[in-house]
Structure 1
Amino acid sequence: MKTIAIIPARGGSKRLPKKNIKLLNGIPLIAHSILYAKANSSIIDEVYVSTDDQEIKDTALKYGAKVINRPARISGDLEPTVSALRNVLEQINNEIENVILLQPTNPLRPVDLLKEAFEIYTTKNLDSLFTVSKNHSKLGKIENNKFIPSNYKIGQRSQDLEPLYYENGLLYISKTKLIFEDKILSENAFPLKMNHIFATVDIDDQNDFDYADYLFSKKQNTF
C-alpha cells in the first residue's frame, strides 16, 4: 500500500496572476512543494500535481512530479480541495493507503516536519493529521461600529488569553478512505502543534509573496 503526495494547483489566480509558477528564490512556487515531497522519498512513493493549466503541468513535469489533468468541472474558485484529491485517486487507480496534501501556497516547511508528522500518524494509527499553530491575537468582531471581543476581555493581558490555534496549511495526512468520503480530515483528526515562522506564510497576494521571499533570504542563516 502506497503513500502519495498530491499538490493541487489551479491556473487562473486572480490576486496574483500565474502565482503557482511565479519564481520564488529562483524557482517556481509549485516546485518548492514538489522538491519537499521528493526529499521525503522514504515516506512518499509518488508525487502528483493536479492542475488544469498547461504551464503548471510543464513546470511540474520538469521538477519530477507526475501530472493529473484536473477537469474544468472541479477547477472553479469555489471547488473544495478534496475534489481534486479524489479525482487524482480515481485517475491513478492504484493501491493507495495514505495521501499527503501539500499546498503550493505554503512553500516553506521545516525540514523534519513531515518525518515527525508521519511518525505520529503511523504510531498512533490515525486516520488524519494536520498542522496547527497558536494564535496570539486578541480577536473580535465589529457590529454597529462597535468592537466586540471574542477571545478576551478588554484590558486582559495577552499572556492570560485562553490558548487558541489555527489551521496553518503546511501539511495534511489522510487515509484514502476519508477522501472517498469527500473529507480530508475526520472529526478525530490529530492537530500537530508547531511553533515556527514558516507557519505564517500562506501566499495569496503580492504582499504574501514578498514576505515569503524575505524569509527565504534569511532561511540559510537563521532557521
Structure 2
Amino acid sequence: MKVCALILARESSKSIESKNLVKLNDVPLLSYVIKPALECEFFDEIWVSTDSEAIIDLIERIHRSVHIFKRSKQMATDECSSLAAVQEFLNFKKDAEIICLLQATSPSLYPQYLREAFEKMKQFQYDSVFSVTRDHKLRWSNCGNGVMRAINFDVSRRPRRQDWDGELVESGHFYFATRELIMSRNLLQNEQNTGYVEMPIEMCIELDYQWQIPVLEIILKNHGYIKALQTRMK
C-alpha cells in the first residue's frame, strides 16, 4: 500500500504574490509543511504539484528528496478545485493507494498530527481522516428585513463557553483519503467511515492575507516545527 503526501502549490495567488514562496522567519512557506512530512516514516513519497518554475527551483535546491509533478495549466487556475488537482496527480501516480493532501498555507504543523491521522486510517480502515480545530463562536444568519436567525445555539439558552463543547471546524492542514474515495466517488472526505485529528487553535491560522504574515511569524516562533527542529539540533 503506497502512501504519498501531496502539496498543491500554484504559481499565482490573488491575495499575496507568489504566496507559496513567501518567507516567514526567513524560511519559505512551503518548507514548513515539507519538513514535518519528511519526518514521517510512513510516507513512501512526497510530491509537490506545481506550475511554477520558481517552486521547482526551490524544491531542487533545498528539498531534493521531494518529487515534482508538473501541474497542467488547466489545473492551475483559480477555478480549479483541489479535488480535480489531486485527481490529475492520481491519474499520473497509478500506484498511490492513500493520499495525504497537505495545505501549504497552514504552516504550523508537526509530524505527530500526521502520524495520528495515518494510524486512524490503518486501525479503523477509514476512507478519510482530516485535521480540525474546535471553535466556540456563536453564529448567525442574516435572513433580511431585520430578521436574524441563530444557527448553532438557542437564543433563549445562550451558552457560556464552558457549557458547550463548541464545533469542529476544518483547520485545513491535511486531508488523508483513499484512492477509491477520490477517484471513484469524487470525494476528499466522507461523512461516514471517516475520522479527524484535533489541532490546537493557536496552530490554525492560514496565510491568506498580507496582514497575517507578521502574525504567523510570531506563531511559528512558538508553534512551528522548523523552530523546534532548530532548537533540538542545538
Normalized against structure 2, the TM-score is what?
A: 0.85
Deviation of residue 199 (structure 1)?
4.2
**Are the aligned partners of 2:134 and 2:201 in contact in 1 as well (CA < 8 Å)?**
no
Measured against aligned partners, the alpha-carbon deviations of 1:44-97 in whole angstroms (never above 9, x if no partner) come to 01110011111112112322321111111111112110111111122233x221
Aligned residues: 219
**Are the aligned partners of 2:83 and 2:187 in contact in 1 as well (CA < 8 Å)?**
yes
CA distance in 2, matches of 1:99, 1:193: 16
* Structure 2 counterpart of 1:99: 99
> SS of the residue aligned with 1:206?
coil
**1:7-156 matched pairs, under 5 angstroms:** 7-40=7-40, 42-62=41-61, 63-64=63-64, 65-93=66-94, 95-142=95-142, 143-154=144-155, 156=158
CA distance in 1, matches of 2:70, 2:150: 45
Q: What RMSD, in angstroms, separates the aligned Cα atoms of the two structures?
A: 2.0
Query: Percent same amino acid among aligned pairs?
Result: 26
**Are the aligned partners of 2:51 and 2:70 in contact in 1 as well (CA < 8 Å)?**
yes
> SS of the residue aligned with 1:105?
coil
> SS of the residue aligned with 2:79?
coil
AA matched with 2:151: S
Structure 1: any 5+ residue segments left out of the alignment?
none
Deviation of residue 166 (structure 1)?
0.9
Structure 2: any 5+ residue segments left out of the alignment?
229-234
Pick closer, same or farther for the CA change 1:197–1:91 going to 2, 3 Å: same
AA matched with 2:195: P
AA matched with 2:217: D
Deviation of residue 145 (structure 1)?
4.8
CA distance in 1, matches of 2:202, 2:51: 28
Match status 1:164 vs 2:183: no
Deviation of residue 152 (structure 1)?
1.9
**Are the aligned partners of 1:34 and 1:60 in contact in 2 as well (CA < 8 Å)?**
no
